[in-house]
Amino acid sequence: MSESTDTDVIVVGGGLVGLAAAAFLAQHGVRTTVFEKHPTTSIHPKARLVTVRSMELYRSLGIEEEIRAAGDQGNGFVIGQTLSDDLSTWIAPPAEDVESGNLSPTSPYSCDQQVLEPLVLNAARRFGAEVEFDSAVLGLAERADHVEATVRHAGQERIVSAQFVIAADGAGSAIRRHLGISMSGTEVPGRSVSAVFRADLSPALRGRFVDAVFCRAASTFLFARGNSGDRRWQMGTYVRPDWEGRPTEDLTDELSGLLRQATGLSDLEPDFDDVATWSTGAFVADRFRSGRIVLAGDAAHIMPPYGGMGGNTGVHDAHDAAWILAAVIRGDASHRLLDTYERERRPIDQVIVDQALLRSRKSPGQKEASGEIDALTLALGQRYGAPPGEEFEDPHEPSMADGTRAPHLTWRDGRSVHDLLSRRQFTAIVDGPITRTDSRAEFVALGRGDVATGQRDLWANTYGRAVGHLVRPDGVLAGEFEALDDVPGLIDRALHIR
């Protein structure tokens, strides 16, 4: 990597997406520095659902098991009159019931954002990323061949230069505004209140486990927080008209009353840790990049939290941006590769934002809405470069088209095909002898004879049609080949160098 700048990539914002971007970039060997204005990772619980694709990406960082230990299997999202009543109607089934067994080496999981972020932070640091807290980026100046950030830490300002910047500075992104990038979409009316509290809800649960409940009696969501050994709770409800304008700490009497209604426990005395109000919308940035500055996460899209997709989508942005920036910084790719980030992510993110909006308009407990795409397809069926309206495909029937995720199959020793993919280079999966190579790819000899018994038909129906498949460093298919001599040309094409 070039030493002419202080670092290769500056990531502005050490939230979930910024930290994930740093981990992916550093895994590629890119010098990466994150500046986060707060003193620590986030403290208010927000995201909890980790999709199966995000789990695959965390697995590639080596933190799947840490997340499993820190989080929960996921006990599902139910609806009831109160927490004490019958809770057998699912809004979303438990994570382990989501049929991803044959499709992925991992499964969706539940891990609170404030627990997950330190794990991603540790991974980023293990790969060599620098993460500086209490460090606010005050401004960016783009020069011909680098970007300069003015950073304030402990009252001191300094200039830090980098080849590229990832703006992961959240929904209010000052960088997006500075770049003059507007957002298109729609407001979601109303404001919500979110309160974290401690209370013994076991008299209502009577040995039952839930992740999330909508209690009709009080129009209130209850979310289990922490893991099953350490149950804190979070309530979510809409801001009542007579609460408007009042400080959030003055609302605890009203919130306690709602909680008694919601739980059916008339003598409940909740102990509130944190009360916050929030509003949302469904917006996507009109551009995802300006010169050397790339937007990712909430800086690029804002969506209602229904379906738990905001953070996951941002992590996927970061994963795509990381391999592209790494290839350009290494000098392997032309700068034209940078254009593919917006071309690939924006249409996908637009559909996901639309899906979150659709889910937000459903009444609790309502089954599938017309036009709803299921969670598994949204997580695993993304198709980069597909025509409008075809951005997602059924992951049970992978098309093997360029721009789709390399399907998972189990190898004879129990490992997944995914575990054989290079994280830093292309991978050529070859069904036959390897008679020539290319320094930009790892060549893996893997044919239908090597996959687990019972999966051979699957192999024949997916990977088995050609001599081999080229997979990008982000696990996305980049072309099938009939001869090994075709591999260098496919890599050139994927890197946009001809």
Q: Which residues bind ligand FAD (CB under 6 A)?
A: 12-18, 35-38, 42, 46-49, 113, 136-137, 168-170, 174, 194, 278, 297-298, 305, 308-312, 314
Nearest approach in angstroms of CB 106 to ligand FAD is: 16
Give the chain's length: 498
In three-state secondary structure terms, 461 is helix
Q: How far is the CB of 44 from ligand FAD (least distance, A)?
A: 9
Q: How far is the CB of 168 from ligand FAD (least distance, A)?
A: 5
Q: How far apart are the C-alpha atoms of 255 and 236, rounded to whole Å?
A: 10
Nearer to ligand FAD, 318 or 329 (CB): 318
CB 399 within 8 A of CB 387: no
User: Considering the complex, what minimum distance in angstroms separates the CB of residue 78 from ligand FAD?
Assistant: 16
Q: Which is nearer to ligand FAD, 40 or 228 (CB)?
A: 40
The Cα–Cα gap between 379 and 384 comes to 13
Where b means 16+ CB within 10 Å and e means fewer, 179-209 reads bebebebeebeeebbbbbbebebeebbeeee
Quote the CA–CA distance of 406 and 400 in Å, as a whole number: 7
Phi-psi bin for 283: left (phi > 0), alpha (psi -120 to 50), beta?
A: beta
CB closer to ligand FAD, 308 vs 398: 308
Q: Are 379 and 386 in contact (CB under 8 A)?
A: no
Nearest to residue 478, comparing CAs of 297, 333, 289? 333
For 377-430, list the strands marked E by DSSP. 426-430
- Nearest approach, Cβ of residue 280 and ligand FAD (Å): 7
CB of 222: closest distance to ligand FAD in angstroms?
13
Contact by Cβ (8 Å): 254, 243: yes
**Is the Cα torsion angle 135, 136, 142, 148 positive or negative in sign?**
negative
Q: Which of 445, 444, 440, 435 is nearest to 492 (CA)?
A: 440
Nearer to ligand FAD, 112 or 393 (CB): 112
- Strand pairing partners for 166? 11, 294
Place of tokens 């500056």: 10
H-helix or E-strand containing 131? strand 130-132
Compute the least distance from the CB of residue 116 to ligand FAD, in Å: 10
296 versus 484: smaller Cβ distance to ligand FAD: 296
Nearer to ligand FAD, 310 or 403 (CB): 310
Reduce the DSSP state of residue 276 to 3 states and report it. strand
Which residues are CB-contacts of 22 (< 8 A; sequence separation ≥ 6)?
Answer: 11, 14, 32, 34, 124, 129, 131
* Closer of 274 and 332 to ligand FAD (Cβ): 274
* Closest CA relative to residue 119, chosen from 62, 44, 48: 62
Q: Which residue is nearest to ligand FAD (CB)?
A: 15
Q: Which is nearer to ligand FAD, 84 or 106 (CB)?
A: 106
38 or 216: whose CB is closer to ligand FAD? 38
Q: How far apart are CB 52 and ligand FAD at their closest, in Å?
A: 12
Residue with tokens 């954002």: 113
Least distance to ligand FAD from the beta carbon of 285, Å? Answer: 12
State the minimum distance, in angstroms, from the CB of residue 402 to ligand FAD. Answer: 27
Nearer to ligand FAD, 90 or 278 (CB): 278
What does the alpha-carbon distance between residue 374 and residue 127 come to, in Å, rounded to a whole number? 34
CB of 407 to ligand FAD, least distance (A): 23
Which residue's CB is nearer to ligand FAD, number 306 or number 459? 306
What is the Rg, in whole angstroms, of the alpha carbon atoms belonging to the chain? 23
